[in-house]
Structure 1
């Protein structure tokens, strides 16, 4: 069991000065909360224009040269008109891993500051690799096989892309290779491998499939309301009120397609029903799992829109889609950016049941939100923060749903685990080490852990920030959260936790943010929302210190 590891850009050129080519991209932007009166905030287009002017004026301090282009990834405009424009970067048209940054502007468009993933200047002697593309592909395939020892892989393929790696020290030319294959059951495996394009040395590697693990009778959430689409004399499990999100049956098939390497993709045969009453609440009816998946999508959409002001996963109002009954006894669920879809396995019945629980849905789709905003690299401490972001916000989706059949808690995946798994949940936020592998506190070696275990530091922080330390019972679940420094923490509540984490993710974090950077990002978010020196600000600082992030 891989611990439910969730999965996890056309432009116009502006005139430039100082030799910097500034490119704006027609990318997706988070929707803003509706105002009760006329909205006088700057528009997205105005924010982009202001940011473009700031890039020209501050090119040197931002480390931009004539060899580099930028493209807009996301735009946030606060209620007071403050603007935050997030950029990706290329160097001689090569993507720069770790080159992303966020420009912060005053309501009048004046430049305030920037958060940069790296401050190292990019200046390469050549962009011609000494290691050829086929050799990089072979090295990545070897790395994929090594990560899956004991498993005979089929249909293994690799696709290298030449990039500049600015994430791992001094910028260098590198191959980013996505290696993919199928295991003995036909389920997908994938690994992204960074290779030095001059020496062939492996720089880093990580799993590419980010996994976790009318009305309808669901497997886990009871009878739930569903918005569907009439079609002739029947109904489609497609929600026109949430971007036409729909759920389909993968019919036990799997993808021969991971990331951008595609042979074929498992189907998503749209579920239909004659009377608009879906499922039976048991696995005997294939529609029951579909009810859970659609309901999870609905609640995640509503949480982000109603609580965080984000209109859909991509911020553009477009719905994703779900595939259930994927593969054979597949013990995973994953979000895939390349199809903008969620995929759920049925589990093996011994360690996991169908992986369509509400917090799993919230977790996985949050990976989509992360990819559209901070794009935290799925490796090292930033990988742990990526996973923790999905745990934290996925948990808040569960609390938001307020479903009596699946009440809110700080347990991850408790509905899907079977006795054969050995624990009552995948992860425990109050004391992450209860799963036997996760870290309660930061140490210099935490970045060497699997990202699902290094996430424990941030999960523990989030629990302490919301609920505080010590023993307590919430919704019938007993918790007892310790602190590294013996301090006593009084929580500020789940709502404020969610507001602070989401703002930190979308405004301040970048692809290389580590735990120290997360402390700074969440303190900046708390200052923006509640003021410097506020109880909320001070509790954020205290909660990080309580998990040894200072």
Structure 2
């Protein structure tokens, strides 16, 4: 036992005592905060996360950051490396999982993130790393000028159809460690607009010694009111003087704005005299706002009820929503830079992309960014997209709204295809004509919306099992790539496993094989390594050719 861990045990004990004493003053754990407490009020699973109030979470982050230098040494990092706390998750049994970003000689290490797991007493329980490579480079002096890296990035963006294209800032020096041997590199972020009018935030990583492109990804991730899709719903709003506005003061201050066909800024906060929003028809600009506001409201409540999570960053603060983006814009997106969800009105401005599962999908991109940070390209990008589909479906079931019942279809309400079919099918992803039902070595070369297929399929099989069945009036028939029969464990448990894997065992570079390991680790922590749930996770992955 090192002096540090002995010191940490005393510190942790003191904080735990303060939390318990201050619970009624909302300075610590909130009552009923267990993430895994079910509808019958059964005790929380020991490895399920608890809901920390903002002050308690901030105190825990501060404590972990204070010990970051010692932690770096104890897990074998070099003298030039430092750890910066990104997030902290505390389980019901007191286990703490601290997610760190890493620097080397003051430079950000892309792909160097890791999670340190510690018991309630501060004893080490392992480290989950994005890379196993030692972070060391021969020189911090670039051989290639920054201007060349910038030119390369802008050229790539233009070739992809970007307009109004220019670098948002000068390239920054980084250490690229997400693939193979770590090297000195530049990261350039290119702005403007993508070909379909979506804002552009293309990240290009260039080798600072050779000028070779190492990696690129798109950081813009493409998810009483009378709504278009969810019927008449109750909305939480704020009264100011004699008028009301779409500000939800009970859920971190979420606001819904009208861009009025614009493509930048926040637009105008929706306000009105009667606290009635929309009329169910998309031609009324308030209707899409009601859908978006409702979607954010439901997703916030879903995170809190299912996982003990207070908002996207788990800090009690809300993102905001923007509706009526662009003209005939057939998409919706999440942006880290504005920390917001944005929705177009679809073809002819007649089908806003504001259905509940789309709203939850976009918010969940923010959650992934705040936790595992799955790179939005290749297999990790597919897992990123699948996470949003999985949590979007979870939120839709949670809402229990008869106008938009829970299902394993993605975007079934918004009719982007024009024939009433959904965007994606979780029971058999290939039904959309492009997604894959199972893993193959070529999966990483697909668009992330299609490489998400095997993970969506895994989640459906884990929840409901294989074969034909009807759920909430929707018929499904889920195959397996190995001809096996999979028995589901139920959506509630499947969600718990995926969420714990995402927040505790996945990193920015996680691919499908590592996702299998992460979900098995989560199932083991939650239900035991010999449990039915653990065996079902293994069987569901094997059924989509991830072994």
Distance in 2 (CA, whole Å) between partners of 1:137 and 1:389 is: 32
Please give the TM-score of this superposition, normalised by the length of structure 1: 0.87
Question: Could you tell me which residue of structure 1 aligns to residue 288 of structure 2?
Answer: 289
Q: In structure 2, what is the equivalent of residue 74 of structure 1?
A: 87
Closer, same or farther: CA 515–48 of 1 in aligned 2, 3 Å: farther
- For the pair 1:429 / 2:429, whether they are aligned, the reply is no
Deviations 1:475-495 (A, max 9, x none): 111111100111101111110
Residue of structure 2 aligned with 1:190, choices 163, 184, 201: 201
Secondary structure of 2:538's counterpart equals helix
Q: Please state how far the C-alpha of 1:371 moved relative to its aligned partner.
A: 0.8
The structure with the largest helix share of the pair is: 2
- What CA distance in whole angstroms lies between the structure 2 residues aligned with 1:412 and 1:185? 21
Alpha-carbon displacement from aligned partner over 1:236-271 (angstroms, at most 9, x marks no partner): 11111111111010111113xxxxxxxxxx233111
CA distance in 1, matches of 2:276, 2:135: 58
| Partners of 1:118 and 1:219 in 2: CA distance | 45
1:260 corresponds to: none
Q: Which residue is 1:328 aligned to?
A: 327
Change beyond 3 A, Cα 1:132–1:36: closer
433 and 186 in structure 1: CA distance in 2 versus 1, 3 angstrom threshold: closer
> Which structure 2 segments of 5+ residues have no match?
5-27, 35-43
Secondary structure, aligned partner of 2:441: coil
- Is residue 520–residue 537 contact of structure 2 (8 Å, CA) maintained in 1? yes
1:154 paired to 2:164: yes
**Any stretches of 5+ residues in structure 1 without a counterpart?**
1-14, 17-30, 256-265
CA RMSD of aligned residues (A): 2.4
Higher relative contact order (CA 8 A, sep 6+): 1
Equivalent in the alignment of 1:521: 518
Alpha-carbon distance change, 395 to 348 in structure 1, aligned in 2, over 3 angstroms: same
Q: Deviations over 1:64-85 (max 9, x none)?
A: 1111111001111111111111
| 1:78-477 alignment runs, 5 A limit | 78-148=91-161, 153-159=163-169, 160-182=171-193, 187-211=198-222, 215-255=224-264, 266-349=265-348, 353-420=351-418, 424-477=421-474
Equivalent runs, 1:527-538 vs 2, <5 Å: 527-538=524-535
> What displacement does 1:106 show?
1.2
Q: Deviations over 1:299-354 (max 9, x none)?
A: 0000001111000111111111111001111111111112211111111239x821
Q: After superposition, where does 1:494-509 map in structure 2 within 5 Å?
A: 494-509=491-506
Q: Distance in 2 between matches of 1:542 and 1:405?
A: 34
Contact between 1:32 and 1:309, CA under 8 Å: does it hold in 2?
Answer: no
Aligned residues of 1:349 and 1:418 also touching (Cα < 8 A): no
1:515 CA displacement: 0.7
* CA gap 1:286/1:483 in 2 versus in 1, 3 angstroms: same
Q: Does 1:483 align with 2:483?
A: no
With normalisation by structure 2, the TM-score equals 0.87
The answer to whether the 8 Å contact 1:247/1:268 transfers is: no
2:493 equivalent to 1:493: no
